[in-house]
Structure 1
Amino acid sequence: MIVRHLEDRIGTAYDVAAATWNSRRLLLQEDGVGFSLHDTVIQAGTETLIWYKHHVEAVYCIEGEGEIELTETGATYAIRPGMMYVLDGHERHLLRGKTDMRMICVFNPPCTGQEVHDEEGAYAAPRHN
């Protein structure tokens, strides 16, 4: 059994920040459970281009408001607490924070923990051990 507390991850190597978001990695590839789990804060007034070419991501909003826009179609969806979306088609998208948004994110394959978005908005392809 794995037991962790968010406050024990904040301010450590498991607390990864970028210009528009901060992701506290709770479960990672090293844990061997087949997915990773992240508690992520999207900053208010920001826009982030994201394209998970190599991962499927499920996102559940627990705080704040914003929107996701699919770049290929222009379709937009309001994000608010209780809203969930899954990028099961590897959709390239813009994530906008109207207010600070707190999101619970699950990735498959699991992340290693130090990923940041490249110039395309993607994480690198996972390495298989």
Structure 2
Amino acid sequence: MIVRTLDEVIGTENEMKAETWSSRRFLLKKDGMGFSFHETIIYAGTETHIHYQNHLEAVYCVAGDGEIETIADGKVYPITNGTMYALNENDEHYLRGGKEDMRLICVFNPPLVGSETHDEEGVYPLLEA
């Protein structure tokens, strides 16, 4: 059994940070679950360009507000507590924080190794380590 607390993740190599977000990575590829599991904070008033070409992601908002805009069709979807979205077609998008930080619970397939961060195209590389 794997049991981890947020306090055990924050401030370790399993917490990645960028200007617009912080990702607390609870389960990674090395844990052998076939997916990775994260808590991500999207900072209020920010915009992040994302295009996961190598991963599928499902996201559930548990606090805060914001929106996601799919680039292909320009559709904008509000995100609030209780909203789930899935990037089932590797959807390129903008993720925007609203008036307060958004707290998101995320699952990635294939699982992340842990050190991934967005490149200039918004992509996480597919790492094998």
TM-score for the superposition, normalised by structure 1: 0.97
Question: Which residue of structure 2 aligns with residue 82 of structure 1?
Answer: 82
Question: Which residue of structure 1 aligns with residue 13 of structure 2?
Answer: 13
SS in 1 for 2:48: strand
TM-score for the superposition, normalised by structure 2: 0.97
User: Which amino acid is 2:38 matched to?
Assistant: H
Which sections of structure 2, spanning at least 5 residues, go unmatched?
none
Question: Which residue of structure 1 aligns with residue 91 of structure 2?
Answer: 91
CA distance in 2 between partners of 1:10 and 1:61 (Å): 19
User: Which amino acid is 1:11 matched to?
Assistant: G
User: Which amino acid is 2:7 matched to?
Assistant: E
- Count of residues in Structure 1 that have an aligned counterpart in Structure 2: 128
Which sections of structure 1, spanning at least 5 residues, go unmatched?
none
SS in 1 for 2:30: helix
Question: Which residue of structure 2 aligns with residue 31 of structure 1?
Answer: 31
CA distance in 2 between partners of 1:78 and 1:53 (Å): 23
SS in 1 for 2:26: strand
Question: Which residue of structure 1 aligns with residue 108 of structure 2?
Answer: 107
> Percentage identity across aligned positions?
55
CA distance in 2 between partners of 1:9 and 1:118 (Å): 23
User: Which amino acid is 1:125 matched to?
Assistant: L
User: Which amino acid is 2:20 matched to?
Assistant: T
CA distance in 1 between partners of 2:77 and 2:44 (Å): 17
Equivalent positions of 1:40-79 (< 5 A) are: 40-79=40-79
Contact 1:35/1:110 (8 A) holds in 2: yes
Contact 1:23/1:40 (8 A) holds in 2: yes
